[in-house]
Structure 1
Amino acid sequence: MTDDREVPAPTTDTAARGHAERCAAFRALHVPGRPLLLPNAWDHASAAALAARGHPAVGTTSLGVAAAAGLPDGVGATREETLGLARLLRDVPVLLTVDVEGGFDDDPAQVAAYVAELAGVGVVGVNLEDGRADGGLADPALVAATIRAVKVAVPALFVNARTDAWWLGVPEPLPEALRRARTFREAGADGIFVPGVPDPETVGLLAAEVGAPLNVLYRPGGPGLAELGRLGVARVSTGSLPYRAALGAALAVVDAVAAGDAGAGSAAPSYAEVQGLAVR
């Protein structure tokens, strides 16, 4: 006999356990020497396509999110757009980590509340950076206080603390990056992200010294995934590169059509393939 009784909705405790398990699964992907390749998406289609390609985790790119909305990156302008994208991606079968720039607020409690909203729609990690719109680095004590507040609000969430010591041209970037990495790690950061590291030797030194899984940014012409693994890296992000490459590809195919290239765009995904990425 068919049981027509209504199945109860998951309880809050059940949802919390499920989120904690997803956070743990994401954390387990960070293995020094066997780096997680983390591609970065900027909309539903890009995230869904990456998930369909078999990537277990996807990040967002703050430049891609900002540029797609007609806004500048790195100035705290995309708080709502970032949250909206996380909501849109909640049903994509992938572990999602979100770039929140500097947290979109200088008040650690407000950043923690925002990150808790992200966690509420299934986000398992955030990137939190110390670079600021004025071209300087935030007070490491403030960043540490923000990390602590986030970890109190959502203990299971993977906080990837980023220092822009190289990107912002600090005179002695290595000791500054190490000092900040230690401060952020002591505050509860789960990983340390150092984009812009110029050479493999420094990458290896950072991997050995930061005391947490090291995340670096893939650079065309720089070390590949295998070499970064040998250096002890645990995560390699593509950052805004896929978004910029997509823009480049769009311009290239239009230029090719204008030039009379009969094969222009032949390698692009089909209409049906893209349609298949839509939310059902």
Structure 2
Amino acid sequence: MTTFRELHEQSAPLVLPNAWDLGSALAFADAGFAAVGTTSFGVAASAGLPDGDGTGRAATLALAAEMCRLPVHVTADIEDGYSDDPDAVAGLVAELSAQGVAGVNLEDSAAGHLVDPADVAAKIAAIKRRSPAMFVNARVDNFWFGEQASVEAALQRARSYADAGADGIFVPGLAQPDDIRRIAAETSLPLNVLAHPALSVVELGALGVRRVSSGSLPYRAAVDAAVDAVRALQGGSPLPTATAYADMQARLVAFRRRSTS
């Protein structure tokens, strides 16, 4: 089986779907994706919680543990590690590693603002000391939050995280092809971006991107589709097609049987 790290080294970028619950993770695995991540927004929002303030911690860890029973590589979005203490973050990641999680996303922001990159580098170094095989995808949030939103500033943070032992760089919010190309060329690590509204996966790959994450898009699209389905019912329009209840039920039953055998 191809390792999670090797999925970032293939000719085409890794397309990573992000699940918000076990049902969505099962669907992505059944669709043939080799790796599935969690989405911090989707997990939090589906529980009625805001994203980014650590309240989704328990739900994220529980989902990641369940997903490790699927025949896919699992990577968990752990926001900023849910702690300012590098040793505490490393301990959390060690627990995830013991469960079978292959990778984590670690943000360099908190409460919607960038934090000192030295603090993030300390967390990365602590994680790698304790769990050297864990794929640490260091998230660079300059463009996401519009703070120090330049290629130079993002690259400076990326290099700091690479020096600390990160395995990948995630730069959400990158929009301009020239910026994407330059960051991909000037960092030593695989570049991860979010699904781009105007660039295909093939085009992103040509710019040097090695991983394209769906982020919370599937969750948000699912919520919109749910509303549209009921509006169609209410208005007498043709109903959308959907996977049969029996098929989804069978998928869940099979998963539970495998989990308890």
TM over 0.5: yes
In the other structure, the counterpart of 2:13 is: 35
The answer to whether the aligner puts 1:169 opposite 2:146 as a matched pair is yes
The answer to whether the aligner puts 1:195 opposite 2:169 as a matched pair is no
Query: Shift of the alpha carbon at 1:190?
Result: 0.1
- Residue pairs, 1:45-194, within 5 angstroms: 45-133=23-111, 135-194=112-171
Tell me the SS of whatever aligns to 1:29. helix
Q: Once structures 1 and 2 are overlaid, which stretch shifts more, 165-174 or 205-214?
A: 165-174
- How many residues get paired? 254
Tell me the alpha carbon deviations over residues 29-75 of structure 1, each in whole angstroms, 9 at most, x when there is no partner.
00275200001001111111111111000111000110111111011
Runs of 4+ in 1 over 6 A off after TM superposition: none
Distance 1:83 1:172 in 2: 31
The answer to whether the aligner puts 1:236 opposite 2:212 as a matched pair is yes
The answer to whether the aligner puts 1:264 opposite 2:239 as a matched pair is yes
Relative CO higher for 1 or 2, CA cutoff 8 Å, sep ≥ 6?
1
Distance 2:32 2:149 in 1: 40
Unmatched runs of 5 consecutive residues or more in structure 1: 1-21
Distance 1:254 1:172 in 2: 41
What's the % identity of the aligned pairs? 54
Unmatched runs of 5 consecutive residues or more in structure 2: none
Q: Confirm or deny: 8 A CA contact 1:32 1:229 kept in the other structure.
A: no
Q: Confirm or deny: 8 A CA contact 2:18 2:38 kept in the other structure.
A: yes
In terms of Rg, which structure is larger? Answer: 1
Given the alignment, which residue of 245, 251, 255 partners 1:277?
Answer: 251
Change (3 A) 1:32 1:184: farther
Change (3 A) 1:168 1:32: farther
**CA RMSD, aligned part only?**
1.3
